Amino acid sequence: MFNSIFDNSTAALTSISDKQLLLCTALSLVLGVVIAAVTRATNKNTTKSMLTTLILIPVIVQLVIMMVNGNLGVGVSVMGAFSLVRFRSVPGSGKEIVSIFSAMAIGLATGTGYVGIAIAAAVVISAVLLILNLISFGEDDGNSRQLKIIIPEDLDFNGVFDDVFEKYTRRAELEKVKTTNMGSLFELSYHIVLKSVGEEKKLIDDIRCRNGNLTVTVSLCERTNMEL
């Protein structure tokens, strides 16, 4: 099942029959559709462009592998082929990166005739992605927030809000400090995890008592596409 369907005695392209070429190409397309469908099911923000890419990558990689198979410069050629597969100008999420590499691996397997390995890999990867999407493994509990506090320049921010954070948060981490308003004010940026979402107003009120009623901003954590 996991052996190559090609004649291993000769690695030249002429040893690949039309039937084998059509079989591998059709399988690459089918498995590409499977990877695209699973990606769509587990990531609702996936674009049509991304899905189209996932469907076609296995076929493209497979054909490139077939073309360079048997040449002395196969190593260099394969690396050159993979270098052509570039990520979009917009950074992809972790799930999209996994999908891209899965499609490339499937194309590599079908391009070398290991159709059993390609099918098994697609089934296992798809199953793992679907299972991880159904369970809450690694998910944010919804209590994470970005907190920005404006304080006067004469207020020492080191430890000034520690007791407030201990009362309302499970974790509070100072990420950035910058000056604002021509240096007369400081802006503190924290990443916090609230004990209870319903106590946001109480947290803000207590902070305002410490920072002279200057601006306090609480927002949801930014979800960037670079998350892995």
Predicted model pTM: 0.60
Indicate whether 5 belongs to any domain. Answer: no
Asked if residue 158 and residue 208 are part of one domain, the reply reads yes
Asked if residue 172 and residue 99 are part of one domain, the reply reads no
Q: Out of 116, 134, 152, pick the residue that ends a domain.
A: 134
The domain that holds 181 is classified in CATH as 3.30.70.260
Indicate whether 195 belongs to any domain. Answer: yes
Maximum pairwise Cα distance, the chain: 81
Indicate whether 102 belongs to any domain. Answer: yes
Q: Give kind and range of the element (H or E) at residue 18.
A: helix 18-42
Nearest Cα to Cα of residue 99 among 45, 137, 132, 57: 57
Q: What is the pLDDT along the chain (228 residues), one digit of tens a residue?
A: 555 666 554 444 456 777 888 888 999 999 999 999 998 888 877 888 888 988 988 888 888 777 776 454 565 566 565 655 554 445 556 778 888 888 888 888 888 888 888 899 999 999 998 888 888 666 666 788 999 999 999 998 888 999 999 999 999 999 999 999 888 999 999 999 998 888 889 999 999 999 989 999 998 876 544 444
Do residues 91 and 225 lie in contact, with contact meaning Cβ atoms separated by under 8 Å? yes
Do residues 216 and 174 lie in contact, with contact meaning Cβ atoms separated by under 8 Å? no
Asked if residue 148 and residue 63 are part of one domain, the reply reads no
Indicate whether 3 belongs to any domain. Answer: no
Asked if residue 40 and residue 88 are part of one domain, the reply reads yes
Query: Please, what is the Cα angle at 77 between 72 and 78, to 5 degrees?
Result: 115
- Three-state DSSP at 97 gives helix
Domain housing 158:
144-220
Q: Out of 111, 134, 157, pick the residue that ends a domain.
A: 134
